[in-house]
Structure 1
């Protein structure tokens, strides 16, 4: 991994964090819990791939723009939602 890759990765991460901070509070809370869950139980390849987290943020942005609550987007069992993400990735 080159210095340029590291810098680009940090830029992507900061952009993602800014997008999460723009979400409604309930979405932010659930996103942080999903992130913790993925970092604990997810395979290393999934955790290192920011694309999965970006996909979650996009899903949350869409749900928030439609006026849905976060649990309407993920379902009431957020851990099962995460497990499905891991399985499908």
Structure 2
């Protein structure tokens, strides 16, 4: 990845297009599960989402292998896709981008208020 790709995020756009092309060849129930998984995983990303690319790749590979083996989505992911996604990113301790922004805001406010004394 060169500097331009990192700044513009074009490398991630290419990777996401690749993921979408791979997902399109899956059966319909797997495509729906993939869509739900991406929606649930993006909230755990950092500002750019780069930390999610390996996780998304592994999740899609899991769906591809399960589909090839003839397993159902429920057999692979269970009934709770949101819970499965939370487990992928670290379960209870996983912070969303909202949590990270909230922590940053609280630190900045505390620093400003501490400087007023």
Note whether the superposition's TM-score is higher than 0.5: yes
Q: Tell me the distance in 2 between the aligned counterparts of 1:82 and 1:19.
A: 19
Q: Unaligned regions of 5+ residues in structure 1, if any?
A: none
Give the one of 34, 37, 56 matched to 1:34.
Answer: 37
Q: 5+ residue gaps in structure 2?
A: 95-117
C-alpha RMSD of the superposition: 2.3
TM-score norm. by structure 1 comes to 0.82
1:38·1:82 contact (CA, 8 Å) conserved in 2?
Answer: yes
Higher relative contact order (CA closer than 8 Å, sequence separation 6+):
1
Bigger radius of gyration among the two: 2
- Please tell me whether residue 3 in structure 1 is matched to residue 7 in structure 2: no
Report what 1:44 is aligned to.
46
How many residues are treated as equivalent by the alignment?
88
